[in-house]
Structure 1
Amino acid sequence: MKRKHSKWKFVSLVLIIFILCLSTVAVNPVSASTEQPKTEMRAVWISTVLNIDMKAGMTKEQYIAWVRQTLDKLKASKLNTVIYQVRPTNDAMYPSKLAPWSSYITGKKQGTNPGYDPLAIMVEEAHRRGMELHAWMNPYRVTMPSQKLSDLASNNVARTNPGWVVKYGKQYYLNPGLPEVQNYLVETVKELVANYDIDAVHMDDYFYPYKIAKEAFPDQSAYKKYGGSFKKVEDWRRDNVNQLVKKLYIAIKETKPYVQFGISPFGVWRNKSVDKTGSDTKAGVNNYDDLYADVRTWIKSGTIDYIAPQIYWSRTLSVAKYGTLLDWWSHEVQTYTKTHPVHLYIGLADYKVGNDSDAAWKNKMELPNQILANRSEKTAAMGQMHFSLKSMESNKLGYATIVNQQLYNYTALTPGTVWDNTTAPAEPTFVQVTKEARGRKIEIIDENAIQPRKYVIYRFVGNSEGSYDNPKNIVDVVYNMNGITAFVDKTALAKHSYTYGITAISATGVESKNAFVVKEGK
């Protein structure tokens, strides 16, 4: 280690830190409550469709208050990412030239302007707390079962281009087989990524709709027109989704290369009974044959940055055991990552805790034990995503308290997509630490030509440094505020002297090799 010495407020120290690992730190399940990974995805879905997690009709002031209160609670629980549903039904939770205002923000007719920008507020408030914002979209869904096309805004493309729409069951969908639909969806994502400082675009499991018994999906005319090179309509449908995923990935990277593209598919790719390379499960639905989501192809071709299968079953459910699927998805990610690595996160069924016919969910430890399984050195999982906000807040059986106090009691960094850019940023050029009544004020000045996206604030008691790999030493993560960033460490005690080490994090999650170090009392 090389050291530079000056007065305590201006002390800097060069410390070699490894670039963030591409895999989660191994954790012994027996002691996982204390030996936690430094890098782990801890996300929660905030579902706006049908106002599941967010009520409608809030004023700007009420909405801001709700966002701040919600994010404060999540931050206190050491979650590091929110997945905010911004396009639930071919609408938008932000001003868009391509889609009408969502009715789920105002509670009024689709297209009604709320008078503020919900997404902009959510992004700003999340970043103020050092949390990532993943913008969640549903690509094809136009209506929910209770809605008619006449309920939609007049400028909704489902009304201006009725030929793009098909009805299946009680819902309307954009036809995935039409090139015009694919082009439109690509443009909506370009607009979203260009206009907002989001960290990722996130899609869930709604591709071709879940099958309805004795009802065929009405896309035969599109298949006849565009599916000539495919002998089976099923193969054509899978190719339609593959093409959209590829085009979205390219559009995102061309717009902002560091923005991630993640997908959260149904938890079973295929059962072993129909494909020997499938999982040893007996699920009634699967991605490949029912939703035409060829997830393996996305992983193999590198057209996603992360995959977050929704493994919404217990560890003992015979037809689809959690551990069986965790191992299967781990194997997929480890085996088929050809173009670049793909992160594996697991979608967890918080909504089932204390509320499911499977008796396993009556045990408050079921979900915490799933997190411990994710941390096992045998898996490729790098964290989890919780469905959804209201379930975490309701905290049935006290499961969320266990998660927060025993499994998420230290801060974790979000995994980076270092394959997009491996360049490590320089440490900040200057850091000042000042004692205040409320703790320590930390001012970070960064005059480097290439600005980092975030900083990690490490704190050690006394005048010597501890481990930069131990999450116990992370005070917080803060976003770079245009080169002049301020943070208050409210947990610092007046009677103690501390050593602070500040590292920089690039937009792709690469941590600086050096830390700017400030030692109090010197």
Structure 2
Amino acid sequence: MKKHLFLGLLSLGLLTSSCSLLDKVGLNGKNKYQKREMRGVWLPTIYRNDYMGLSRAEGQKVLKERIALLKSLNCNVVLFQVRAEGDAFYRSQTEPWSKYFTGEQGKSPIEDWDPLAFVIGECHKNGMELHAWINPYRGAANALAPRSSEHLSSKHPDWFVTYNKQLILDPGNPKGRTHLLRVAKEIVDGYDIDALHLDDYFYPYPAEGLDFPDSVSFREYGIPFGYTEETKGDWRRKNVNSFIRDLHDVIAYSKPWVRLGISPFGIYRNKASHPSGSQTKGLQNYDDLYADVLLWAKKGWVDYIAPQIYWNIGHPTADHLELAFWWNKALKKKKTQFFIGQDIKRTMDGNQLDDKMKLSQELSQGNIYWPADELVRNYKGIDEQLKNNYQPYPALLPEWQGILGKSPKPRPVDDAWFSTDDNNAVSLQWSHSDIEGPDQARFFALYIFPDGVKPSIKKVEYLKSISNDSSYELGNLAHGRYTILITAINRFWRESKPFSISIDI
């Protein structure tokens, strides 16, 4: 495979010798275990019947088990799809319950419970972030499917258009944009989420021979402002840009510690369309989906971008290696963080996990895996490979800055002590006092060092736990002396100075 990789790189003009580039990106080296790394997983709900008709206990059991699995693989972010078709996997005053939750859109659950609230609690308990994933413009994947009377399309059918058998909220109608901002504010204000997440669906993927039917909104909101048929693409991009800008502002004014993340389609522009584009030949964000992703990063409207670079290395239309380098260069000087969206099935089928993980370590700040389903079914042994070879230890997320700039570190832990139960099991407990606010401790990290190892929080292999709990069961440690370091972590993932305590077992 390395031979094929080399030939593909050579054909793209990306190297002059195999050793120079492969060494540069670490493909010939050992894995570099990261202390800070995004290890996110998309947990989709659309087209799934996993939760339909389940009781509260049954539904919570499914979600709890899946989060526990992701935690066992040392993943640290769950991107939970809570609005797939103008519906809700949460208790909403603006959207009907999702049919993928209750079996019928708008129907209340069998027992009163809130999946989003439950997942948030489970994630935070396990030291993981929860990013609420919404699809803004898709009203229905099947325009002919029955919809609730509470669905926005039932109340305002003129805000929607049908395209390629889908029902789409017209991005050119500012009334629809106002509704989307109301939805976002409801989620941000009502739930302790860590980020709001959007994927690649803006203007819909173009279908051959079909023009997007936005002539009505264009006549009303485009032509009066000087746009013509020749500049209609600019108008469409303006519509999406305005939504992203306003969404950023809604979040910033409500809870400035909540991030906005986007996982766009993997190609921004092809070089054939613009000299700055990538050496690819596929569909384009800028020209086809009207998503000017780099503008959003330049303006500081988005906190992270995770392009869906789902193709394999050497793909003739969209080479994973070419795109990883391209996005790295495009986002290098931006405050926006860069993660890589990885397709598990394609990667495992192509036997490219090792190369992609090493490439990601060199060029990005982590990965988001698509989808959680493949980890649940352990497709081709992906779970063991991640746990044993790439994510053997927990990881903090990369530090990030909100609109107010760099956050101060949280206060260190005040005190710690050991206690023993009736079965002689030893646990460590600690106390921490802090002021209220986003800079306060959200999680605690715990490092355990055997005698003879110099304690340092830089040594990732001794990081044992990240959670929101102020206690830790020491378990079956071998006899000997240990030094334990405890740190506090705030919402911006800044880590306090360590508190040190030792124990003889």
TM-score (normalizing by structure 1): 0.86
Say whether residues 1:430 and 2:415 are aligned partners: yes
- The runs of 5 or more residues in structure 2 that have no matched partner are 1-23
Say whether residues 1:37 and 2:56 are aligned partners: no
Equivalent in 397, 402, 427 of residue 441 of structure 1 = 427
Question: Residue 175 of structure 2 aligns to which amino acid in structure 1?
Answer: E
Equivalent in 354, 375, 378 of residue 361 of structure 2 = 375
**CA separation of 1:59 and 1:462: change in aligned 2, threshold 3 A:** same
* 1:295 Cα deviation from its structure 2 partner: 0.5
Measure the CA separation in 1 of the matches of 2:148 and 2:424: 50
Measure the CA separation in 2 of the matches of 1:411 and 1:218: 48
In the other structure, the counterpart of 2:20 is none
The SS at the match of 2:327 is: helix
Equivalent in 198, 201, 204 of residue 193 of structure 2 = 198
Equivalent in 336, 343, 350 of residue 337 of structure 2 = 343
Say whether residues 1:108 and 2:104 are aligned partners: yes
Say whether residues 1:475 and 2:464 are aligned partners: yes
Measure the CA separation in 1 of the matches of 2:463 and 2:484: 10
Percent identity (aligned): 33
Equivalent in 385, 404, 407 of residue 390 of structure 2 = 407
In the other structure, the counterpart of 1:131 is 128
Higher relative contact order (CA 8 A, sep 6+): 1
* 1:224 Cα deviation from its structure 2 partner: 1.4
In the other structure, the counterpart of 1:265 is 264
In the other structure, the counterpart of 1:179 is 174
Say whether residues 1:500 and 2:484 are aligned partners: yes
The SS at the match of 2:177 is: helix
* 1:447 Cα deviation from its structure 2 partner: 1.6
- The runs of 5 or more residues in structure 1 that have no matched partner are 1-25, 355-360
**CA separation of 1:438 and 1:88: change in aligned 2, threshold 3 A:** farther
TM-score (normalizing by structure 2): 0.89
Measure the CA separation in 2 of the matches of 1:461 and 1:447: 28
Question: Residue 502 of structure 1 aligns to which amino acid in structure 2?
Answer: I
- Structure 1 residues 9-408: aligned runs within 5 Å: 28-33=26-31, 35-51=32-48, 54-114=50-110, 115-145=112-142, 147-148=144-145, 151-227=146-222, 228-231=225-228, 232-283=231-282, 285-335=283-333, 337=334, 341-353=335-347, 361-363=349-351, 366-376=352-362, 379=363, 381-408=364-391
The SS at the match of 1:418 is: coil
Question: Residue 499 of structure 2 aligns to which amino acid in structure 1?
Answer: F
Question: Residue 394 of structure 1 aligns to which amino acid in structure 2?
Answer: R
Question: Residue 458 of structure 2 aligns to which amino acid in structure 1?
Answer: D
Q: 2:34–2:460: 8 Å Cα contact kept in structure 1?
A: yes
The SS at the match of 1:44 is: strand
Equivalent in 444, 447, 453 of residue 455 of structure 1 = 444
In the other structure, the counterpart of 1:358 is none
Measure the CA separation in 2 of the matches of 1:188 and 1:403: 36
The SS at the match of 1:51 is: coil
The SS at the match of 1:167 is: strand
Listed one character per residue, the Cα deviations across residues 3-37 of structure 1 (whole Å, up to 9, x for unaligned) are xxxxxxxxxxxxxxxxxxxxxxx99544543x301
* 1:389 Cα deviation from its structure 2 partner: 0.9
* 1:417 Cα deviation from its structure 2 partner: 1.5
The SS at the match of 1:416 is: coil
Question: Residue 41 of structure 2 aligns to which amino acid in structure 1?
Answer: V
Q: 2:256–2:402: 8 Å Cα contact kept in structure 1?
A: no
**CA separation of 1:109 and 1:202: change in aligned 2, threshold 3 A:** closer
Q: 2:87–2:105: 8 Å Cα contact kept in structure 1?
A: no
Q: 2:412–2:488: 8 Å Cα contact kept in structure 1?
A: yes
Q: 1:440–1:488: 8 Å Cα contact kept in structure 2?
A: yes
Q: 2:312–2:350: 8 Å Cα contact kept in structure 1?
A: no
**CA separation of 1:473 and 1:28: change in aligned 2, threshold 3 A:** farther
After superposition, the CA RMSD in angstroms is: 2.0
* 1:158 Cα deviation from its structure 2 partner: 1.1
* 1:521 Cα deviation from its structure 2 partner: 4.1
In the other structure, the counterpart of 1:4 is none
* 1:498 Cα deviation from its structure 2 partner: 1.7
Q: 2:427–2:474: 8 Å Cα contact kept in structure 1?
A: yes
* 1:178 Cα deviation from its structure 2 partner: 1.2
Measure the CA separation in 1 of the matches of 2:41 and 2:359: 18
